[in-house]
């Protein structure tokens, strides 16, 4: 997981849960009714909410569900020490 990347929060199908003062975002992947006819959902954790910006810090599930590619630029660090 790349912790520096922040993305916009998905508009639909998200549920926020608070645990130890952190807000975790779940995305509903399946809607169904159980044997009693009550509506249920299957949810997957897609990341954590950044409190400062209100954006989502995504995990690997986010990139799998939304088919988003990450472009990582390599930084070349020159050591002038000899």
Domain boundaries, position 52: 14-66
pLDDT of residue 66: 85
Tokens of 32: 């169904």
Give the count of domains, the chain: 1
Question: pTM value?
Answer: 0.74
From first to last of its 82 residues, the chain has per-residue pLDDT tens of 555 788 888 888 889 999 999 999 999 999 999 999 999 999 999 999 999 999 999 998 998 888 776 665 555 556 555 5
Q: Is 39 exposed, middle or buried (0-12, 13-18, 19+ CB in 10 A)?
A: exposed
Q: Is residue 39 part of a domain?
A: yes
Identify whether the C-beta of residue 48 lies closer than 8 Å to the C-beta of residue 23: yes
Q: Is residue 80 part of a domain?
A: no
Q: Classify residue 12 by its DSSP letter.
A: S
* d(C-alpha 17, C-alpha 39), whole Å: 19
Q: Is residue 79 part of a domain?
A: no
pLDDT of residue 2: 56
Identify whether the C-beta of residue 49 lies closer than 8 Å to the C-beta of residue 56: yes
Give the SS3 label for residue 42. Answer: strand
């Amino acid at each position: 997981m790349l912790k520096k990347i922040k993305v916009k929060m998905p508009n639909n199908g998200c549920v926020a849960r608070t645990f130890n003062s952190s807000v975790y975002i779940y995305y509903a992947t399946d809607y169904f009714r159980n044997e009693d006819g009550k509506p249920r959902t299957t949810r997957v954790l897609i990341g954590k909410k950044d409190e400062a910006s209100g954006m989502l810090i995504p995990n690997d599930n986010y990139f799998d569900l939304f088919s988003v590619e990450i472009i990582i630029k390599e930084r070349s660090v020159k050591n002038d020490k000899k």
